[in-house]
Structure formats: structure tokens, C-alpha cells
A = this chain, B = another copy of it.
Amino acid sequence: MLFKNITMIDEKYDVIKNTNIVVEGNKISYIASTVPEEYCGEVYDGKNKVAMPGFFNTHCHVPMTLLRGYGEGLPLERWLNEKIFPFESLLTDEDCYFGTLLGISEMIKSGVVSFTDMYSHLETLIKAIDETGIKANISNSYLKVGENDDYFKHNSYKETELVRKYMKKSNNDRIRADVSIHAEYTSSERLVRQISEYCNSTDMNMHIHLSETEEEQRICKEKYGLTPAEYFLKCGTFKSKTTAAHCVFVEGDDFNILKENGVTVSHCPSSNLKLGSGIAPLKTMLDYGINVTIGTDGAASNNNLNMIEEVNLAALLHKGINKDPLFLGQKDMLNIACLNGATSQGRENCGCIKVGNRADIVIYDFDKPHMQPAFDVLANILYSAQASDICLSMIDGNVVYKDDVFTNIDMEKVYYNVNRIKNEKLALLRLPSDS
């Protein structure tokens, strides 16, 4: 495909006007101000359109999209124990398949080309991810594992190996297996060490929740005399390339630990605000040179998977709390949302638009009231754009979404099944269907 006479955000996040981008196979093969003479393939008219690198959503629980808005208005403990856990215990593989399709459709519509997920039902996730054309690093976060359980006998291990097998036989690398440790407070030290050793013996990445709440931080210090970051360091977890979600309460030497061990932080501002956790110290992390990225978290706590909103919130929030309108400039923010995310997932040749890179390109339509005038293309993308401005999304050279239509998702079928699942579970939970 040729994106003809389009405005493009290049690898330095500079705005290049009136350029032409050619995609061959899964790669960008040509970028120049003139159209290649020999080109005779499909042409996309770039008038009033901007080609952006796609976003990397580095923390999600995609099947939980099924729980959007369920159990609102309860304090955290009651929300989890009375609402979320009982509902989740009823979810089948098929339910998770439709929940994953729903979540992926929402992510694609907001410019996500790849996401890092922590949940379960991985066979189902493989199916949904494979069908839709998105990329993902997926992992199984066991829960409720006993003190003496053996990880290698556990379903979490089996699912991870299943993804590794899929990777070997797949003709692309869109799906990757990560390993998860859910969190310090949900794991025995024995389990953490066992999983960390397993991950370190492979080429997989690690994905954890870290220092999300004040209570988690306090109790961990009381229990071990260590912060969660110090605890995971001691257990060998950070020997693997790790993405740590939240990091709201990291403190003191934690910053050094994250930096020195190459741990990526997935900053999830919406979820942290909505759950009343607080605001992660992004400025300190960036001052330490930590690889910061953006995650939506799951729809149960966010309540959406809209990366445009997440990136916009991060850009605004940290200017405000640091009282510095120049903090987190446009290029820094886009780098965090794009290239840093690709790096965290171990995806080379991804995260920016340049010749030889994977063709992960998202097209914004600027013919919208809120996108005019366009004095500053990056400012409009960061501070004015809405998900509905995205009119085309290409992942690994495939158009997965164009003009409100998904290439490989039947949204009517998804809506029908999501509603069916909702009503079936409410009936099982003996709740009214319109609760």
C-alpha cells in the first residue's frame, strides 16, 4: 500500500508534510517526498490525514473488558471480593474469547498496535489475537496458589508453555509469551523464586504488578523489611527483562533498582486515579532514566482501554502536579507511548515510522472540529484527538481497521455475545439483568 501525499510523524517525532510511505509485506519499504515511479499497488489518499506510529499498551487484562462498570461505587476490598472475583470465577474460555475481541476492538480504535496482557485462558487469547491481527505479549497470572504449590504443576505454567509452542509453529511473531507474577501480596516467596527461575531460564519477559497501593507497600515493608521492588530483586525476578505495572508508591532505592535492572514501568494513570491509589512519581522515574511506558490496565478499573485518553491524561497530569507546563513535552510523551512500549515488549524494528521498520501505522483524520486549526500537529494528536479520529490502522502491514469497520472482527456477533454473557452471569449470580 502507498500512503500518498500524507503528513507523517517520523522516528524523531518530527512532522513531515507531503510525504509518501510505501508498505511491502509487513514492513515500511520507502518514505520520500516523491511517489516511486514503478509503484502500481493500492493507493491511500493522505489529504488531511496524519500517519502516526501505533501505541503500545503495556498493561492490560483484556478479558476483563467483560466486567466494564460492574460493581461500581464499592470500596476496593468489597468490589474485589463481592463483585469481581465471583464474576470472574464464572468465566469460561468462550466468554473470555468474546471479552478479548471486545477489548481488542476498543484498543485498535484508539490506536493500539500491540498490548501486554496479564490474565488467563491463554489458548482463547491466542485465538482472538490471531484472528484480529493485533500484536500482544500475553501471560498467565495465576491467583489463589497455595503456599506449597508447585508452579510447574500449575495451570499457569501449562498455559505459558502452550503459548511458547504456538510461537514456535507460528509464521509470525505477533503473539509472544511472557511470564507473570501477579504481585508480591498474592504470592509466596517460594512461588516467586520458582517462577523467576523459570522465566530466567528462557528468553521470555516478566510482567508484574508493583507498588500499586500504599497498603501493599506498607505491608510488604512490615513483612519482609523490604519494599516490593527490593523483594523482587532479592528473589531474582529482575534477572529477566521485566515490566512492572503501576509503581505508584516506589520510593528511595526502588528507583535505582528499577533503573539498574532495566525494569520498564507501565504507568496506568486512569486506573490509579479511579481506584483512589494516587499518582505515580513519573518525573523521578524519568530523571533516573527508567524506561517509562503507558498502560490502560483492565476495563474493570479504568473503565476503558482508550490509549489516546491515557496518553493525554499522562501528558496533562504530570505537568499539573509538577507545576511545569514544559514537562513531558510532545516528543517525550510520544516516545513513552510508542517506542518505549515496543522496547519493553522486546519488539525490535517497531515503535516508530521509518524504512525497514514493521508497518504499524495509524492514520488520523484531521477533518474534525477539534482537530482544526492544525498549527501544531503533535499538539493536536496529544491534546485534542479522540479515538474516533483514527480512520485506519495497519499492523504488520495488514489493514485491521478502516473507516469504522474491522477487517476481521464481526462486531454485531461480539455485541450479541457480550450481552448474552452479561445476562447469563447475572442470572447465575441471582442479580437482576438490568442491575
Contact = CB atoms under 8 A, between A and B. Distances in A.
A76 B272 contact: no
B106 A373 contact: no
B69 A383 contact: yes
Interface string A364-382: 0001011011111011100
A25 interface: no
A108 B302 CA distance: 26
Contact of A435 (B74, B105, B302, B375): B375
B383 A304 contact: yes
Contact of A274 (B73, B102, B325, B418): B325
A303 to B, nearest CB: 4
A286 interface: no
Among A66, A312, A419: residue with most chain B CB under 10 A:
A312
A384 B73 contact: no
A275 interface: yes
Nearest to A272: B320
Nearest to A103: B369
Interface stretch (A116-124, A150-158, A170-178, A276-284): A276-284
Nearest to A76: B325
Interface stretch (A32-40, A201-209, A326-334): A326-334
A313 interface: yes
B102 A372 contact: yes
A432 B270 CA distance: 38
B383 A302 contact: yes
Interface string A318-351: 0111111111011000000000000000000000
